[in-house]
């Protein structure tokens, strides 16, 4: 089973990610990884930090001449802002611990509970790691997983479907989203809503406030049977939800019709099953978002996530000083007003990790040739029995 670890503080020297279990002989195009990192940095509503950083993946090990070795892959992403923070963030040697000390906890961030739990008098020791800067490392991991999955034509896209009170009421198809999303500063493919989203973010900014929103992730061409019902930790939807919920600020995840499923009768909820000689087994609907019993059905996987408004407000909320216990307004750290577009890029990439993990669980992970032949044999078996004609979503 592939797994990864990330390390790094927001204003420390760099982020480091190690992914273990990637197969040998996978060709990696570093520019594809850097493209994903760039996408995560964009998005209307971001603060000034993104003007400082220019995230690039430096692959340190596990790859030779663009080809994976099957050994752990270590990736580094440098924090350019470290140059401005050396005297506070150097890991070794005497540093200035006093002058940038943070003591007034921001409600909604990890500040208060983190400081109490780890016995810190300086909230900087918490916020450096709880910061979503860490998501750059996870995007690099996901981008490597996308490289792997592209060999099987598995495709990902994501877009923003809601900001503040506005929510997209149209259902665009995968191709339309993937063709158009990168041209939108808020990753919204609908021109009317794009403007509404921008206006909402501007309004929040003027009011020195922040906003969250809703993102949608679409995944195509996953063969049926990735993930399993046999044990709780092998369920594909459960693992996707875990990874998505671990993104800073994400507060809810739904598949297909999601929470709306609680409002309809079973006859309107399930995706009924049909067979024809021409199509094999097929469905006319995808209400369950491409997963049944913890397994991919072969339909498009459709997931939505809600992100709460950013906790750091330029008109700070009521709080206390953790050391004096006096009432104060929360600290103001430089901050984004809205990071929903960036979160959609993160979400897409953490999903790529989960899909790669369970794809390899089904088809192996030693080397690309063996995985490809296992994959083809499996599809051949399903075709021979007349169950599938082609992958449903190709
Ligand atoms: C891409 C991205 C950027 C973020 N930027 C900020 C930010 O600038 N300021 C802030 O207070 N929170 C920001 N957040 C959210 C916080 O990191 C998050 O709310 C915090 O770590 C607490 O975790 P929780 O909301 O999951 O409980 C960002 C989140 C993401 C995904
Ligand atoms: C650095 C990133 O996002 C940061 C996430 C973040 C937070 O609290 O989560 C707070 C801000 O940090 P800073 O105070 O350094 O500007 C964001 O910029 C990034 O996405 O790469």
Walking along the chain (394 residues) 10 residues at a time, the average pLDDT comes out as 97 98 98 98 94 97 98 98 95 90 97 98 97 98 98 98 96 97 98 98 96 98 98 98 98 98 98 95 97 98 98 96 96 91 98 98 98 97 92 54
- Look up the CATH number of domain 3-384: 3.60.150.10
CA 87 to each of CA 23, 93, 94, 104, 346: distance values in angstroms, whole numbers, following the listed order: 41, 10, 8, 21, 30
CA of 213 to the centre of ligand 1 (A): 13
DSSP symbols for 47-115: -THHHH-----EEEESEETTEEESS-EEEEEE-TTHHHHHHHH-SSS----STT---BPPTTSSHHHHH
Ligand 2 pocket member 335 (CB < 6 A):
yes
Q: Is ligand 1 within 6 A of the CB of residue 364?
A: no
pLDDT of 51 reads 94
Class of residue 51 by CB neighbours under 10 A (exposed 0-12, middle 13-18, buried 19+): exposed
Alpha-carbon span 156 to 153, nearest angstrom: 10
Give residue 337 CA to ligand 2 midpoint distance, Å. 11
**Is residue 248 marked as binding?**
yes
Look at residue 392 in the predicted model and tell me its pLDDT. 55
80 lines ligand 2 (CB under 6 A): no
| 193 CA from centroid of ligand 2 (Å) | 26
**Per 3-state DSSP, what percentage of the chain is helix, strand, and coil (rounded to 5)?**
40, 20, 40
pLDDT of amino acid 332 = 87
Is any ligand 1 atom within 6 A of the Cβ of residue 244?
no
65 annotated ligand-binding residue:
no
Q: Hey, whose CA ends up nearest to atom 1 of ligand 2?
A: 133
Assess whether the C-beta atom of 210 lies below 6 angstroms from ligand 2.
Answer: no
Query: Does 309 count as an annotated binding residue?
Result: yes
Token pair, residue 229, equals 């019902």
What residues contact 293, with CB distance under 8 A and at least 6 apart?
A: 229, 235
- Provide ipTM, 2 decimals: 0.99
pLDDT score at 393:
47
């Amino acid at each position: 089973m592939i797994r990864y670890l990330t390390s790094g503080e927001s204003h420390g020297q760099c982020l480091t990610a190690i992914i273990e279990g990637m197969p040998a002989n996978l060709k990696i195009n570093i520019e594809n990884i850097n493209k994903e990192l760039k996408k995560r940095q964009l998005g209307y509503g971001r603060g000034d930090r993104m003007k400082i950083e220019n995230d690039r993946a430096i692959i340190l090990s596990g790859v030779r001449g663009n080809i994976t070795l099957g050994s752990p892959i270590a990736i580094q992403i440098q924090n350019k802002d470290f140059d401005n923070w050396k005297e506070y963030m150097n890991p070794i040697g005497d540093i200035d611990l006093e002058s940038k000390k943070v003591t007034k906890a921001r409600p909604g961030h990890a500040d208060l509970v983190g400081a109490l739990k780890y016995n810190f008098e300086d909230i900087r020791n918490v916020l450096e790691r709880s910061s979503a800067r860490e998501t750059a490392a996870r995007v690099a991991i996901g981008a490597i997983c996308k490289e792997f999955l592209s060999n099987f034509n598995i495709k990902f896209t994501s877009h923003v479907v809601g900001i503040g009170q506005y929510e997209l009421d149209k259902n665009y198809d995968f191709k339309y989203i993937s063709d158009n999303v990168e041209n939108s500063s808020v990753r919204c493919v609908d021109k009317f809503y794009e403007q509404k989203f921008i206006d909402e973010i501007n309004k929040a900014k003027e009011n020195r406030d922040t906003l969250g929103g809703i993102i949608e992730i679409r995944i195509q061409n996953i063969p049926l049977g990735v993930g399993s019902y046999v044990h709780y930790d092998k369920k594909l939807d459960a693992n996707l939800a875990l990874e998505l919920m671990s993104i800073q600020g994400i507060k809810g995840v739904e598949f297909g019709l999601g929470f709306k499923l609680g409002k309809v009768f079973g006859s309107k909820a399930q995706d009924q099953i049909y067979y024809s000689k021409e199509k094999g087994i097929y469905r006319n609907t995808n209400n369950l978002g491409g997963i049944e019993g913890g397994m991919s059905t072969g339909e498009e996987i459709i997931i939505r996530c809600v992100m709460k408004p950013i906790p750091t407000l330029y008109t700070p909320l009521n709080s206390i000083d953790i050391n004096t216990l006096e009432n104060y307004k929360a600290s103001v750290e430089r901050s984004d007003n809205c990071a929903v577009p960036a979160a959609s890029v993160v979400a897409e990439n953490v999903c790529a990790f989960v899909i790669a993990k369970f794809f390899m669980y089904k088809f192996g992970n030693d080397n690309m040739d063996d995985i490809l032949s296992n994959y083809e044999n499996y599809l051949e078996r399903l075709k021979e029995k007349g169950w599938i004609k082609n992958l449903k979503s190709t």
